[in-house]
Amino acid sequence: MRSAAAKNSYMNIFTGGSKMKIVKNLFNAVKCIEMPRFEDPRGSFTKNFADKLFRELGIILEIREMFYSVSGKNVIRGMHFQDPPAEHAKYVHVLHGAVLDVVLDLRKDSASYGNSEGIILSAENHRSLFIPAGFAHGFLSLQDHTIMQYSVSSEHSPDHDDGILWNSFAYDWGIDDPLLSKRDKELQKFSEFESPF
C-alpha cells in the first residue's frame, strides 16, 4: 500500500494540484502552456491535456483528431492551416526532442495580421501551444527524431488544406536550407495570399 506522501504526490498531477499555467500569450490568442510534470527516480509523467484545466485557463478545445510526426534535425513542417468551413484550433506539444514552433497571424481584422512569432517547445521544458483558427503553424526541428503531437478540433479535409511558404513572411528561422516536403516547397507566398479568416 502506498504511503500517504507517495499517494498525495501521485494524485497531485491527476487532480490538478500541479496546475497547468499559461506562461506566454502570443497575439492575445495563441497560448503557451506549461504542463504539469511529476518526476521520481523512474523518470517523469506529464499531463498534456485536461479539459477541466483548459477551461479554467479560458481555452475550449474539442478534439476531433490526434496525430504525430517524427522529424530529423533541420526539417521544417509548415506553415499549415485549414480554410473555413473546415478551420480548426490546434494544440501541439513535443514528446521527444525540440522544435522552434512558429505561428503566423492570418486574421484580416487583427492588428497583428501578417506578424509571426516563434517559441521553443521541447520534451524538457514540457511546454505546449494552443493555436486557435486563423493562424498558420509550422516548426523547425532542432534535434533528430523529434516527435511532435498534434490535437485538432476538426477532421483533416484535403479540400480545405492550405499553407504559406515558410520563407515568404518576415521571420528569421535561423536556417537557409531546411529539409522540406515537396508540398511545403510549393506553398503560396504570403504576398499572394488572400485570407479567408
Residues known to be catalytic: 80, 150
Q: Which has the closest alpha carbon to 35: 135, 131, 100, 122? A: 122
CA–CA dist 136, 115 (Å, integer) = 11
Q: Which has the closest alpha carbon to 116: 172, 156, 154, 78? A: 172
Locate 72 and state its grid cell. 530529423
Q: From residue 24, how far is each of 33, 34, 127, 131 by CA, in Å? A: 7, 9, 10, 12
Q: What is the DSSP letter of 123?
A: T
Q: Which strands form 21-26's sheet, in the order they lie side by side? A: 21-26, 30-34, 127-131, 90-96, 146-152, 65-71
Please give the torsion angle defined by the CA atoms of residues 5, 11, 17 and 18, in that order, rounded to the nearest 10 degrees: 90
